[in-house]
Amino acid sequence: MPIADIKQTLQGKMDQSINAFKSNLTKIRTGRANPALLDTVSVDYYGAMLPINQVANVSLLDARTISVQPWEKGMGAKIEKAIRDSDLGLNPSAMGDLIRVPMPIMTEERRKELTKLVRNEGETAKIAVRSLRRDANEAVKKAVKDKLVSEDDQKRTEAEIQKVTDRHIAEIDQVVATKEHDIMAV
C-alpha cells in the first residue's frame, strides 16, 4: 500500500473515531433536555430491537422535558420500560399516548460522576486513535519490508503519522474539556 493511501486511510479512520466519540457524548446529559439523549435507547418492536426514534416521535416539550409520542398504541408501555431500564437515570411518565421524560435536576455528586464518564469516553477515543496509529505504522513497516519505500520515507511518514495522532488527541481533549464545562455549569 502506498504511503499516501496509508496516511489518507489513517486520517479518515481517525476522523470517524472522533465523530463516534462526539456522538457518544450526546447521550451524556448536561441538565438540559435533548432528544438525542434517547438515541441510544432501544425498544423491542415485534422481536427486533430498534432505537426509540424509529418507533416514536421524540421532541422537546420544554427546556427540561422530552416528549415521546409512539406511532402505535401498544408501544407506549414498552418505550416507557426501555427508557426506565436504560442507564440514563430517567423516570418517564405516561399521559395517555404521550410519554413525558423530565430531566431531573443534577446534584453536584451526579455532575462529578458524569465528568468521570466523559473522561472515560475520552480515554476510550484516545485508545482508538492510538490503535489506528499503531496499525498505520505497521503498514509503513510492512511497505519497507516489501521494499516499496525507503527507510528515510518510513521515518518521515511515522513522524507525520504521529503529528496526525497528536492533532486528533488534542481535539479529543478539547471536546472533553468543553463537555465537562457544560456539565459543571449550574
pLDDT tens-digit readout, 89-120: 788 888 888 888 888 777 788 788 888 888 98
Average pLDDT over residues 81-86: 85
CA distances from 63 to 57, 76, 103, 114, 123 (A): 17, 22, 9, 20, 30
Q: Could you tell me which residue, 63 or 83, shows the higher pLDDT? A: 83
Cα 109–Cα 121–Cα 20 angle in degrees, nearest 5? 135
pLDDT of residue 47: 84
Q: What percent of the chain lies above the pLDDT cut of 90?
A: 18
pLDDT at 1 over 80: no
Q: What percent of the chain lies above the pLDDT cut of 70?
A: 96
CA distances from 104 to 31, 80, 127 (A): 7, 16, 32
What sign has the CA pseudo-torsion 156, 157, 161, 164? positive
Residues in the chain: 186
What's the grid cell of residue 73?
398504541
* Averaged pLDDT score across all residues of the chain: 85
pLDDT of residue 171: 93
What's the grid cell of residue 39?
438515541
pLDDT at 174 over 90: yes
Average pLDDT over residues 156-170: 92
Q: Could you tell me which of 10, 4, 19 has the C-alpha nearest to residue 161?
A: 10
Q: Could you tell me which residue, 110 or 168, shows the higher pLDDT? A: 168
Could you give the 3-state DSSP secondary structure of residue 15? helix
Count of beta carbons in the 10 Å neighbourhood of residue 63: 9
pLDDT at 146 over 90: no
